[in-house]
Amino acid sequence: MDKSLVIQQTQTNLVQVEQLFEITQSILSLSKSQFSEEGTTFRNNPYRTGFIAKTIDSQGFGIKDSFCHLSSIRSSPIAYNQVLYFGSNSQYIHAIDARSFEELWRYRTHKEVLSTPCIDGNTLYIGSFDTYLYAINITNGIQRWKFKTDDWIFSSPLVYKEMVICGSMDGKLYAVNKYTGKPIWHYSTEHWIISSPTLFDHSIIFGTRDKRIICLDAINGKELWNFPTLAPVHATAALYDHTAFIGDLAGNFYALRAYDGSLKWKNLVGSAIFSSAAVSENILVFGTKKSGIYALNPSNGKVIWQKELSHASHASPLLFENSVITGTENGDILVLTILDGQTLWQFHTDDVIRSSPLYYDGKIFVSGSSLLRIY
């Protein structure tokens, strides 16, 4: 046999083995991240699953601590190294001790902060309604840089490689250098971007007010696919098993194949979906404006149960192996069983609950008129 052919075939085989290894590593990394308890970004991980692979005992629930501020907290809390970070409607970014609830520092922007922060290394990234994306030193609360957009920032940032990626209500998704804040690329839509970017492999998935779900190459911002929805999309996609799960404001809930944007299934629940879904292998859960909380089968979209409510549920649920935690517009914090949606524990606060609960260091934190530790 010709030696050159043997060498060529060997090289081809090595390339295939390397590719298979990279795919395997990617799958393992994705699986590990989807069950992450780090809590350093919106919905616990860059895939925005909102799922913690643990069971919790609802008998241990009760208000343990509270951090009260001058105005509401719509930003979801995140945590790192025993410190909680979040924004508030009083224009501040806060850092408080997760154990004592003492404030360590605060940084003032120039308008409300509804964006949820993310942390990478020693830096916190967060957007404000003053139109700026901020990078803050998490140790002392000193600004490293800020990047100006042309409208409010509601979207929560995502760190990918050397970039911070975030949407703005000016209709653009921006990628900036995480060290300097210098722009790398941006992608323009025709309306607001409220949805936060979700990571899939080396791409970014997000929804828009111009009735699309879009996937971009994370490196260069080039469009890979877009899927037309029947109404604007405010929610953030949850990525599980190579499927993007997301609802629109007409009550359509979509499951899209993340690699090409094709429709896997759709379920019309009939009420606006602002809530970002929490998803695991066997269940996905989200709230609606008028028809309560839904649990669907992620494989086929069939309803597992529906929890009727007298008020809207725009909060993004936190899912455990045996229960789900969420909030409502009348200020109720709910703990439900995933088997049938029955209430295990409930507490009424004096403000709407629209944020995503945080699980950190064996404790659960929820923000509304104040930040509460309930477990």
Flag whether pLDDT at 375 surpasses 50: yes
CA distances from 140 to 7, 80, 93, 104, 106 (A): 58, 14, 12, 8, 9
Residue 207 lies in a domain: yes
Residue 22 has pLDDT above 60, yes or no: no
Instruction: Evaluate whether residue 17 is within a structural domain.
Output: no
Confidence bin at 374 (pLDDT 50/70/90): confident
* Interatomic CA distance for residues 276 and 234, integer angstroms: 9
Q: What is the pLDDT of residue 4?
A: 57
Residue 18 lies in a domain: no
**Domain boundaries, position 278:** 35-373
**What pLDDT score was predicted for residue 119?**
98
Are 201 and 242 spatial neighbours (Cβ–Cβ below 8 Å)? no
How far is Cα of residue 284 from the mean position of the Cα atoms in its chain? 14
Question: What confidence category does residue 167 fall into, taking pLDDT thresholds of 50, 70 and 90?
Answer: very high
CB atoms within 10 A of CB 47: 26
The pTM for the full model equals 0.89
Total structural domains in the chain?
Answer: 1
pLDDT category of residue 71 using cuts at 50, 70 and 90: confident
Distance CA 358, CA 317 (A): 10
Res. 54: pLDDT tops 90:
yes
55, part of any domain: yes
Secondary structure letter of residue 116 according to DSSP: P
CATH code of 279's domain: 2.130.10.10
pLDDT digits (tens, 9 = 90+) for 259-311: 999 999 999 998 999 999 999 999 999 999 999 999 999 999 999 999 999 99
pLDDT score at 11: 54
Residue 97 one-letter amino acid: D
| The predicted structure's pLDDT at residue 350 | 84
Residue 196 lies in a domain: yes
| Inside any domain, residue 68 | yes
Judge whether residue 120 has pLDDT over 80: yes
What per-residue confidence (pLDDT) applies to 13? 55
In this prediction, residue 38 has a pLDDT band, given cuts at 50, 70 and 90, of low
Q: Is 333 buried (19+), middle (13-18) or exposed (0-12) by CB count in 10 A?
A: buried
Q: Is residue 209 part of a domain?
A: yes
pLDDT tops 90 at residue 128: yes
Is the pLDDT assigned to residue 373 strictly greater than 50? yes
Classified as helix, coil or strand, 192 is coil
Mark out the alpha helices in 230-310 (DSSP H runs): none
pLDDT at 16 over 60: no
